[in-house]
Structure 1
Amino acid sequence: MSDAITHLKVPIDRDEREICLGPDGSVAHVNRVLRMISGRWKLPILFRLFAEPTMRTSQLLRDIPNISQKMLTQHLRELEDDGLVARRNFGEQPPHVEYRLTEPGRGLLPMLISVREFSRLHPDLKPTGSALAR
């Protein structure tokens, strides 16, 4: 079997479960990332920033249908606090602010593309009512 098969890397031995389930285990790391990108508007924001190197707030408002200024600002602040997006304030009047992905933010793209491909390969799978499925 290939070493790339991830389920072979999950310890089965009862004493080694800490590697997967402990506070610094695989589950904790995956949950941390899912919390960073969960929220109705975070993925649309990230995908727009994948497409354009820098964007102003007004561009994001135009490009993301139905998002309010309040929600855009809230999610941009959360993404910035999590280190996925960087904000640059030019200190001008009227305000000129641009957003861009940080290096860790750009590092999410391959993972998100893999998730997209998983969804395309499994169209019959339906999300349940969990918070991340909404």
Structure 2
Amino acid sequence: MQAVEKTHTEPYRSGCPVSLGLDIFGDRWTLLIVRDLMFGGKRHFREMLASDEHISTNILADRLKMLLAEGIISKRDDPSHQQKVVYSLTEKGIALLPILTAISDWSFSYRPVGEPYVQQARAHLSPADLNQEMEDLRRLHLAPAVVP
């Protein structure tokens, strides 16, 4: 079987949907960055750098660049600070909410979740709750920038 070409220089391993998703999310950092934007309220590089998992600056910069290129996040100048940018989820990024929720549900069932996180359980959201959470994310991330 011939590999399908990516929009950049590396060929896809295959056309398998799991493999295609792992091309983006198959490392230990990318979904954590999405998590920080989605649930942690982090919008700036330094805020993401301060996460519990201690990502290095070069890996964070690389993953943000890839997420931007894939259209999962966007960035714009921070109107309150000239040297900062604000990262936001795009519609494509917000669509990852059910996946992050499913991973979280699985971890609560089968992994030793730390005590601070037990209080933040998002397990078993009803479809209506999931839809409401997606709407909340859209309002937060897709709203036009307010410039003072």
* Higher-Rg member (1/2): 1
2:86 is aligned with 1:102: no
Distance 1:122 1:91, change over 3 A: closer
2:63 is aligned with 1:75: yes
CA contact (8 A) 2:36 2:42 kept: no
Alpha-carbon deviation of 1:118? 3.1
2:106 is aligned with 1:118: yes
- Under a length normalisation based on structure 2, what TM-score does the superposition of the two structures give? 0.55
CA contact (8 A) 1:54 1:100 kept: no
Alpha-carbon deviation of 1:53? 5.5
Distance 1:58 1:31, change over 3 A: same
Q: Which shows bigger deviation, 109-118 or 73-82?
A: 109-118
SS of residue matched to 1:63: coil
Write the letter of the residue equivalent to 2:32.
Answer: P
Q: Which residue in 2 is equivalent to 1:33?
A: 21
Q: 2:35 aligns with which of 40, 47, 51?
A: 47
Write the letter of the residue equivalent to 2:31.
Answer: L
SS of residue matched to 1:60: helix
CA contact (8 A) 1:86 1:101 kept: yes
CA RMSD after TM alignment: 2.6
Alpha-carbon deviation of 1:117? 2.0
Point out where structure 2 has 5 or more consecutive residues left out of the alignment.
5-14, 112-148
Greater helix content: 1
Point out where structure 1 has 5 or more consecutive residues left out of the alignment.
1-22, 124-134
